[in-house]
Structure 1
Amino acid sequence: MTTTQDLDHALVGLFETDLNVAVPSADTDLLEGGLLNSVTFVELVMLLEERFGVTVPIDDIEVEQFRTIHQIALFVGSLLADQRRVAAA
């Protein structure tokens, strides 16, 4: 089972390695700090889908879900949980 802390750690690595963005902490405001812009956001969504095997429902995305790494981890965790529920049904 993947915990939010595991996801936080994986996302910090994803930002550093794949997006070349150094994020000081999982609670750093990515939007206010200019670390996440429209181009990086699109790349991030594609990476989340590829890395975690989830589908990000573009129509349901809210900015607050991507404000910090921790909030992204919660979002990805909820997508993974939904995916497990569907698979179990």
Structure 2
Amino acid sequence: MERITQKDLEYLVKRINKITSSPMAPYTRNGEKGNRKAGFTANINNYHLDYAYGGVQLVRMVNEAGGIETISRGCHVPKRELYYWL
């Protein structure tokens, strides 16, 4: 059995974003790099991974404030379990 890595999961999420015509990155930088007043804007409908408690889950950005909706089964699971779910 091969190890499931973060890179494997990120590849699947990239494919989901491409198929759904969603933004590839969760946030876009406003202004120039190094500018103290530069901020970030949340990219609504972007799918990305959320890591916590030693597990991972698939989430989607739902508003401009950076709020997320859990797409996977609602809790952080091991990488292998999410890989097979995707």
Q: Given the two structures, how large is their TM-score scaled by the length of structure 2?
A: 0.38
What is the TM-score when the length of structure 1 is the normalising length?
0.37
Larger relative contact order (C-alpha < 8 A, sep ≥ 6)?
1
Name the structure with the higher strand share. 2
Point out the structure with the larger helix share.
1
